[in-house]
Structure 1
């Protein structure tokens, strides 16, 4: 081999090495596992995810080297998991039950298992609220038979919750006139008399329901203890929950159930990157002004996670000496 050919081969190999090195680097240029611009998927503007997500995004931006963290409105839990799977976002809100379905390829994820998402931590209870007007005469879940009821979009977390709660009460979707509306549309429909009730899975107080209660007296249907027991026995990611009197102008506490809201991240994000944003979120949770901020603590963030923890989040909780219960 001539010296000229050896030199040419050396130059070619050096070029390939430089290209591969650039592709494999994690220098935070946004094309790696450490994006400078973080996209945080939330939910609809009428729910809890969106305003809370805005505060969490600000906390991340203020307490890390991430140049910008943007809370984006979305179709919430199911859509968020699918968007992370496609790589079109970095971090997202979701329900613990939806995360479990996604990573196992069950229910609405039977045609597309999500295999690149890991947990950051749980945040607060996502309360199943069955909302109607006081004047409607609807006093129980059983009274929903034959009524026009919003149950969320097919395949959504709210739809799954509605289907399971109805099922435990011996009611199927065929027994009601199911409407597939967003939270704002649901409360507007109740106010206008176009629907009778709506399932809303969201932290309380939920903005859309507060808006309705400011116009007309509302009622949130209770779930009785025996039904709660049956529901939890069959679907263990539920927990008993209580909507306190005074919320939405309610005159007494209302017993219902909840799943948990959680934050998840793409598993290909760098460990140190996720460690830093986890630290930013939970070390500054006491500064969150949203009503759900009181539930967000590092001490409770591993309870009910249900899917694998991102190594960066695990590093943070290990440092704090926090283990899942």
Structure 2
């Protein structure tokens, strides 16, 4: 009987703790109002009405490094469109901004229509808001999310001495180990291990007769799309391997030299390297063929308020991070500098670093400006703008954009609207381009047609996890292309004209 009484008390205690945890934080009405205010102030006033709202539980969080603790409150909601709006438009605030504002997961928004939603449509949203009670009252955190902890789990010890197990542990090390300081032994070891694993993966893919899709740097947007698309293709009986790379320039060389079947690159990089860029000893890559434009991208030039940098001319004599040697960001930085008449000798330090390293260097005061070319909005820059209120984006002067646009068909002026990034109070104008899918001219027509068909079939499914896939549309797949279409792509567009016309309406 005593045991039964103890069990009853234990169950009662657990239920009480569960109910207490679920009820922590502000009540439902306050949460709903906070979310509605966010939608009106940070996205678009009068676009959404929260049709339904329900708390879906809560969980505590604690960030020891920053000394912040509080509670995550999860919710289910339905947003009613009060007017027609496209969350996949190439212009204006899009699904990426909405996801950030609402604290939703990549899979947390449904009801999106590729050709735009109409008044009365409903979006179903599963998201979360983060609240802290450090002051004795519940206060929502600036971006509705808890700060990311810098703690990184360490890899386990080796499981054994077989080559397969050693490779598994190396992968775990590369996945879990934070980036080492440049020019150290650890950095050299991690770099060489990473390149070795990538080479092995390509060998394994060829042995399995998989198509190789060259994407981008791990944790980058190209790589994320490449992984999702490769997984989808493989599940639908088109075996495909997503290959890590430094970025657009390396991807061009891989396709040109038969090291990749398909690749994702910036449209301006494709145009330039197809013709050749003799100033940098880039000979024409005449074997390249284009397949489709996928989504719009923009050059972001980011500085800190108080740096004294307000225009491109102010960058003279400053320290800048331009991207890794094989990246499109570095390519854009060079192109802009050339047209602006700026010589590399005018910069005391040029850092050729990836996105994460560049942002860390800007925050640490090691560089004065960074160049990042990504889709709008860039998740990395959303996170940066969320934790700092002194982030500023430089506009590129109209005359400079016109000159660049005359030189390259792929460029166009793009204005990034207010509130695209947290705290962004002014629009900025910059170079627009597209993410372009390319292949080799010797790739079979059948393979090209199959991949394009898979691309259109997968877009709605992939958009649930990667919002940029929602931009893929028959109406825009041939925009901004200056490299000849592959014959298989020409056949595909001719044979699917009814689908492309439907998308354009």
Fold match by TM threshold 0.5: yes
1:239-259 CA-partner distances (Å, limit 9, x unpaired): 111223223311232211122
Q: CA RMSD in A?
A: 2.5
Match of 2:429 among 255, 277, 291: 255
- Structure 1 residues without counterparts, runs of 5 or longer: 1-29
* Residue number among 321, 325, 328 corresponding to 1:150 in the alignment: 321
CA deviations over 1:111-163 (Å, ceiling 9, x no partner): 54323331111112221100122343322212111110112244643223112
Question: 1:119, 1:264 within 8 Å by CA — same for their partners in 2?
Answer: yes
What is the CA–CA distance in structure 1 between the aligned matches of 2:245 and 2:271, rounded to whole Å? 20
After superposition, what is the alpha-carbon deviation per residue over 1:212-264, rounded to whole angstroms, capped at 9, x for unaligned? 22332311111232332233233332111122322331123221112221011
- 2:479 is aligned with 1:303: yes
Displacement of 1:41 in angstroms is 1.0
Query: How far apart are residue 307 of structure 1 and its match?
Result: 1.3
**2:240 paired with 1:69:** yes
Match of 2:168 in 1: none
Q: Provide structure 2 residue ranges, at least 5 long, that are not aligned to the other structure.
A: 1-204
The residue aligned with 1:320 is 496
**Cα deviation 1:43-80 (Å, max 9, x = unaligned):** 123432111222222332344x31x3222221111101
Give the paired residue count.
290
Structure 2 counterparts to residues 9-88 of structure 1, below 5 A:
36-63=209-236, 65-66=237-238, 68-88=239-259
Aligned partner of 1:271 in structure 2 is: 445
Aligned to 2:298: 127
Give 4+ residue runs of structure 1 displaced > 3 Å after superposition.
107-113, 153-156, 167-170
TM-score when scaled to structure 2?
0.53
Distance 1:313 1:109 in 2: 31
Secondary structure of 1:200's counterpart equals: strand
> Larger radius of gyration, structure 1 or 2?
2
Describe the superposition over 1:264-295 as per-residue Cα deviations: whole angstroms up to 9, x where unpaired. 11222221122111111023323332232232
Offset of residue 310 of structure 1: 1.8
Matched, 1:210 2:382: yes
Query: In structure 2, how many angstroms separate the alpha carbons of the residues matched to 1:45 and 1:130?
Result: 22
Cα deviation digits, residues 57-104 of structure 1 (max 9, x gap): 2332344x31x3222221111101111122122111111222122222
Tell me, what secondary structure is at the counterpart of 2:475? Answer: helix
Within 2, Cα distance between the matches of 1:184 and 1:60?
A: 29
1:181 and 1:280, CA in 2 relative to 1: closer, same or farther beyond 3 A? same
If the length of structure 1 is used for normalisation, what is the TM-score? 0.80
Aligned partners of 1:42 and 1:155: how far apart in 2?
12
Partner of 2:468: 292
Structure 1 residues 264 and 234, CA gap change in structure 2 (3 angstroms): closer
The CA deviation at 1:108 is: 7.0
1:63-212 equivalence runs, <5 A: 63=236, 65-66=237-238, 68-107=239-278, 110-154=281-325, 156-177=327-348, 178-212=350-384
